[in-house]
Structure 1
């Protein structure tokens, strides 16, 4: 007899969050391993800022960098259990949010998330930085 694999319980007392592809909370089985991803942004391999002034492109590249890190340990966005998006421009980030939600949709991922407005990010020209935690 096999034991069923524990599943994530999605907790959503309201539904306004659905369009942003995040759950208010999730109850997950304890992971064996946790991957903590430092802030990822729209930077080239040499650390130079890419897509200055283009929030959608910055958001997309930041998510791409997270996906690359996840892939190195055989994870995907479906394994992410916490996501924080920092931005210097909330309105522009919300307008470009599809750059993130389309990637989440591809994995059926709805990690609890926060969008946080900040005065500045680490490098001049950055408008978006994303941190993530994943587990398995």
Structure 2
């Protein structure tokens, strides 16, 4: 898959995302529902923000692999969190996952009042191409 990172500025590089990602002539696009810290039987995982980010990425990668994709195919991530402060305190988990996969997606971070279950703190939505 060929893709071009569009960054008119440099400040976003330290946060591991791109202002835009262009994918010329992709043949497939996968739109993933938000993935949260949920067990395989649909129960929320009680842990801290870093733990929830980790489990959310694990679940995202499970969905991607089931469809024949990997994290390196992701071009867009939307993060929904109940606390931007806690999310940024655990942002090393995000950077580690994206960096290991060579993933530099366009991204949006939004603080929300609540997610589907009361103890969930983060949900990650993705778009992937190949």
Do they fold alike, i.e. is TM over 0.5? yes
Shift of 1:100: 1.5
Provide the aligned length of Structure 1 versus Structure 2.
130
Question: 1:46, CA displacement in angstroms?
Answer: 2.1
1:68 corresponds in structure 2 to 62
- Show CA shifts across 1:55-82 (max 9, x none): 0000111011111111112211110111
**Which residue number corresponds to residue 121 of structure 1?**
115
Out of 53, 74, 77, the position equivalent to 1:59 is: 53
Q: How many Å separate the matches in 1 of 2:2 and 2:28?
A: 16
Q: Does the alignment pair 1:7 with 2:5?
A: no
Please report how far the alpha carbon of residue 104 of structure 1 lies from its aligned counterpart in structure 2 after TM superposition: 0.8
Q: CA RMSD in A?
A: 1.2
CA deviations on 1:11-66 (whole Å, 9 max, x unpaired) are: 111111112211001121132111111010001122221124x0000011101111
- Counterpart for residue 79 of structure 1: 73
Match of 2:84 among 62, 82, 90: 90
Query: Hey, what does 1:49 align to over in structure 2?
Result: 44
TM-score by length of 2: 0.94
**TM-score, L = length of structure 1:** 0.90
Where in structure 2 are there 5+ consecutive unaligned residues? none
User: In structure 2, how many angstroms separate the alpha carbons of the residues matched to 1:101 and 1:73?
Assistant: 24
CA distance in 2, matches of 1:58, 1:104: 16
Greater Cα radius of gyration, structure 1 or 2: 1
**Runs ≥4 residues deviating over 4 A:** none
